[in-house]
């Protein structure tokens, strides 16, 4: 008990990070893919990129040819993605949290090959990969 009292900040950090990890599994997030794996899937398997960030985030820069449906609208707009059910779908957001939720939504809607871009747009940009502001 003395350890917990003396290291309260570290204990809280461990509990919070563990909770976030558990929540990503509970929400049913897709398999995480790295930026490198995602680019290979886009180039070799014609994967669809779905960006679930808000419109202002999307407008600031997104992956070329990505589809945009904000996370809050995804349930209502699933029919727009039906034609891509047989293709891999890579879902991205700013960091990977919202996209994990979106992956769960897509899986429940019958999409089988759903992947979460690990690290989101932050990882994409950090890898020096191009972004566009064109729709």
Nearest to 52 by CA among 15, 100, 10, 9: 100
- Tokens, residue 128: 């020096």
Q: How many residues does the chain have?
A: 135
Is residue 67 within a helix (H) or strand (E), and if so which, with residue range?
Answer: strand 67-68
- Distance separating alpha carbons of residues 129 and 132, to the nearest angstrom: 10
- Would residue 93 show up in a list of annotated catalytic residues for this protein? yes
DSSP state of 132: B
Q: Tell the burial category of 129 from Cβ atoms under 10 Å away from its Cβ (0-12, 13-18, 19+).
A: middle
Q: Tell the burial category of 57 from Cβ atoms under 10 Å away from its Cβ (0-12, 13-18, 19+).
A: middle
Per annotation, catalytic residue among 49, 74, 93, 103: 93
Q: Could you list the active site residues? A: 93
């Amino acid at each position: 008990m003395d350890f917990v009292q003396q290291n309260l900040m570290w204990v809280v950090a461990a509990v919070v990070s563990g909770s976030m990890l558990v929540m990503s599994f509970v929400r049913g997030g897709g398999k995480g893919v790295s930026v490198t794996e995602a680019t290979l899937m886009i180039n070799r398997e014609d994967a669809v990129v779905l960006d679930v960030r808000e419109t202002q985030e999307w407008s600031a820069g997104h992956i070329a040819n990505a589809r945009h449906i904000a996370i809050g609208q995804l349930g209502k707009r699933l029919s727009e993605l039906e034609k891509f059910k047989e293709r891999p779908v890579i879902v991205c957001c700013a960091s990977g949290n919202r996209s994990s939720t979106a992956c769960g939504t897509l899986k429940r809607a019958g999409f089988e090959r759903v992947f979460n871009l690990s690290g989101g747009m932050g990882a994409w940009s950090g890898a020096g990969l191009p972004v566009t502001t064109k729709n």
